[in-house]
Amino acid sequence: MHQPSPSSGSPDFGTAYPSLDEMAVGISLKAQHVRELMSSRPALGFLEIHAENYMGAGGAPHARLDALQEYPLSIHGVGLSLASERPLDATHLARLKTLCERHPPTSVSEHLAWAGHSGHFYNDLLPVPLTDAMLARVSDNLMQLQDTLGRQVLIENPAHYLRFDARELGAELIPETHFLTRLVERSGCGLLIDVNNVFVSAHNIGIDPAAWLESIPGHAVGEIHLAGHGEDSREGLLIDNHGAPVCDEVWALYADFINRIGPRPTLIEWDTQVPALEVLLGQTTRAQALLHSTRAQQLTRSGMEGGQ
Amino acid sequence: MTSLERHASAERQPDWQRAFIEALTQPDAALPGIEAGHQQRFDVYRNNVWASLISALEEAYPVTRQVVGERFFAALAHDHSRQHLPRSPLMMEYGAGLAETLHTTLTTLVEARQVSAAQLPFYAVDLARFEAARLVAYHAADAEALVPTQLAGLPPEAVMELRFSAHPAACLLHLEHAVLEIWQRHQHADATLEGLDIARPERILITRPALEVQVTVLCEAAALLLELLLAGQTLAGAAARLADAHPEQELGPLLAPLLASGAFRAPT
């Protein structure tokens, strides 16, 4: 089983906590699919939930997780604001800990983003100028989060819509992949690489998606997200709306990425205009096939090396 | 770097996030720190933030939206989201005060003499309260409800001295309109309110003894009994008060729907 290992010198959370199988393919758990999931019990490597949707005191959402507990659970937070300049919201951190105790997850992840300010929550992943000060901030917040949960947390790369101006910000900007690499070294976190976000960002702010993925340290990657996107015709931007099938370019980037770093747990993410479960399962089959062919190539390669 | 410069640099980031938030609320404001050619792109965040809040309200109030119409609701949700930003990342709690915003909006229209009160769906205010209360019950803490058989084994005198505590999902609403039937009729397409006396005050008990939210319409006396019991009165004490207020009513038939709907928490 793959366990992203922190580099030497960074905090080590050991292997006491579980992690997803590297061949696992999962889907986002949606209320409208629960009945069918419970009756047909499809072979899925894991189910992923947005942490905040399960932070109510009780009722159907929790019953749903109890009924589906045979599937490994990935808890994916969207509201912790790790890149806020303010300290983490202690109440929200405690809620996340309570959720992890009530429904023990196999994986926990959050975003390189902020969503709140001065006691208000904006329900979106807001952009972050990647400066040295921000690296220290996010790293400290991540360590606090990991200490609280007693486990490693994966951090996801966001979708970008605009470019920052370093001179106007008055601070030097760090390339995103360097920022993520240094965050792993400093905090001992793992990475959740959203290939669709890389593709969308590449289109929007002019980066080379293949080169971007190439400079991500493979050992740190604990999960991959695949999703679809939409288009904003006015500005010619791609919008990460999780409302469509994964596009061919993203499949190709994904195949190359796992071919380099090896199989990784992969999520088909679909949150708006959610289709029939069957459609999601079709996407998971495609991801599973790519993971298997990567695994086969790895075995062939190691077999050849062993034979020499 | 001098300590003053360090201070300035440490301060820069929070200022930038504040500027970002301010720019979200002002359609033409420029956001500092982004490339000049990308200023228009800031609209992506304006759209995402406000559209997501409006869509959260649409999901929370499907029937209210049906009643006031999609366009009116969109405008209402737009105003409400700007006046009341979420206070926490728990979007299930967002929009609790929408009924009050709707009431203010309708009252303002009447005061501006744009339309008469009779032409406006003031009953939608009650409907919004009802939908909000159902959502709260849906997410309330799980607890075992007190069932009649738990009382059956007790001697009658002991039952009369019992004190009851509310089930965590239980909520009593005093509404000015016949909201339950309005809501039920709107569970189907092409809903009509024909033949319905809308302006009929209603006391609605919302409960969730298991996973399903239940709705029970209470008569005035049963609602009073519930309020007395939840205020800490014993059954005997509540019965004495009821004898004054509703001498024609018997205790048993008033208590029955409260127990059957799971309004009380089982003793632990």
Q: CB A164 to CB B20 under 8 A?
A: no
How many other C-beta atoms are found inside a 10 Å radius of the C-beta of residue A255? 17
Residue numbers of B between 148 and 187 with CB closer than 8 Å to A:
168-169
Q: Would you call A88 an interface residue with chain B, using a CB distance cutoff of 8 Å?
A: no
Residue B164 lies in a domain: yes
Residues of A in Cβ contact (< 8 Å) with B10? 133
Give the pLDDT score at B113. Answer: 83
B192 burial via Cβ count (<10 Å: 0-12, 13-18, 19+)? exposed
DSSP string covering A156-202: EPPP----B-HHHHTSPPPPHHHHHHHHHHHH--EEEEEHHHHHHHH
Residues B124 and B46 in one domain: yes
> Taking CB atoms and an 8 Å limit, are A164 and B34 in contact across chains?
yes
For residues B59 and B132, membership in a common domain is answered with yes
B175 shares a domain with B129: no
> Is residue B22 a contact partner of residue A153, using CB atoms and an 8 Å limit?
no
* Residue A279 parent element (H or E): helix A277-307
Interface test with B, best of A53, A62, A124 (most B CBs within 10 A): A124
Chain A closest-CA separation from residue B6 CA (Å): 10
Q: B58 lies in a domain? A: yes
For residue B140, pLDDT over 70 is answered with: yes
Does residue B201 carry a pLDDT above 60? yes
- Say whether both B80 and B179 belong to one domain: no
Number of structural domains in chain B:
2
Q: Is A38 on the interface with B (CB under 8 A)?
A: no
Same domain, B67 and B183: no
Kindly report the nearest CA distance between residue B230 and chain A, in angstroms.
Answer: 21
Q: What is the pLDDT of residues A114-142, one digit of tens each?
A: 999 889 999 999 999 999 999 999 999 99
Asked if the C-beta of A35 comes within 8 angstroms of chain B's C-beta atoms, the answer is no
Q: Across the interface, which of A62, A91, A163 has its CB nearest the CB of B34?
A: A163
Residue (of B143, B151, B253) closest to B208 by Cα position: B143
What pTM does this model have? 0.93
Same domain for B133 and B167?
no
Q: Per the structure block, which two tokens stand in for A190? A: 């793992």
Q: Which pLDDT tens digit goes with each residue over A278-303?
A: 999 999 999 999 999 999 999 998 88
Domain that holds residue B199: 142-268
B15 falls within a domain: no
Residues 6+ apart with CB under 8 A from B81: B50, B53, B54, B57
Q: Is residue B111 part of a domain?
A: yes
The answer to whether residues B123 and B148 belong to one domain is: no
Inter-chain touch A63–B10, beta carbons under 8 Å: no
Q: How many CB pairs under 8 A join A and B?
A: 139
The complex's ipTM works out to: 0.91
Burial A279-289 (b: 16+ CB within 10 A, else e): ebbebbebbbe
For residues A115 and B111, give the distance between their C-alpha atoms in angstroms, rounded to a whole number.
38
CATH code: domain of residue B168: 3.90.930
Neighbours of B46 (CB within 10 A): 16
Residue A266: its H or E element: strand A266-269
Q: Is A173 on the interface with B (CB under 8 A)?
A: no
Judged by CB atoms closer than 8 Å, whether chains meet at B10 and A133 is answered as: yes
Domains in chain A and their CATH numbers?
Answer: 25-307 (3.20.20.150)
Q: Among residues B119, B139, B159, which one ends one of the domains?
A: B139
Within-domain flag for B24: no
For A111, the 3-state DSSP assignment is: strand
Q: Of B139, B164, B198, which marks where a domain is finished?
A: B139
Which chain B residue shows the shortest CA-CA distance from A86? B14
Contact B16 A134 (CB under 8 A): no
Q: What's the average model confidence in pLDDT over A130-159?
A: 97
Q: Do B86 and A129 touch (CB under 8 A)?
A: no
Tell me what the pLDDT averaged over chain A comes to.
Answer: 93
Cβ contacts of B230 within 8 Å, gap of 6 or more: B164, B165, B166
Query: Among the listed ranges A11-20, A23-32, A66-75, which one has the minimum average pLDDT value?
Result: A11-20
> Is there a domain that residue B8 lies in?
no
Q: Is residue B5 part of a domain?
A: no
Indicate whether B157 and B261 sit together in one domain: yes
> Residue A232: is its pLDDT beyond 90?
no
Please spell the DSSP secondary structure of A131-164, one letter per residue. -HHHHHHHHHHHHHHHHHHTS--EEEPPP----B
The structure tokens listed for B203 are: 């006391």
Q: Which pair of structure tokens corresponds to residue A24?
A: 């696992």
Interface residue A162 vs chain B (CB under 8 A) = yes
Q: Do B88 and A91 touch (CB under 8 A)?
A: yes
Considering B77, B108, B139, which residue would you say is the last residue of a domain? B139
Please answer yes or no on whether A59 and B42 come within 8 Å at the CB atom.
Answer: no
Residues B230 and B114 in one domain: no
* Residue B17 counted as domain residue: no
- pLDDT above 50: residue B3: no
Contact A120 B85 (CB under 8 A): yes
B14/A contact by beta carbon, under 8 A: yes
Phi, psi angle pair for B38, to nearest 5°: -105, 10
Q: How far is A232 from chain B (nearest CA, A)?
A: 9
Interface-testing mutation among B91, B171, B265, with chain A (most A C-beta atoms within 10 A): B91
Residues B158 and B248 in one domain: yes
pLDDT tens-digit series, residues B155-194:
999 999 999 999 999 999 999 999 999 999 999 878 888 8
Least confident among A72-81, A268-277, B34-43: B34-43
Answer whether B211 sits within 8 Å of A63, measured CB to CB. Answer: yes
Asked if B212 and B111 sit in the same domain, the reply is no
- For chain B, the average pLDDT equals 92
- Do residues B134 and B151 both lie within one domain? no
Pair of tokens at residue A225: 């997200």
In A, minimum Cα distance to B134 occurs at A59
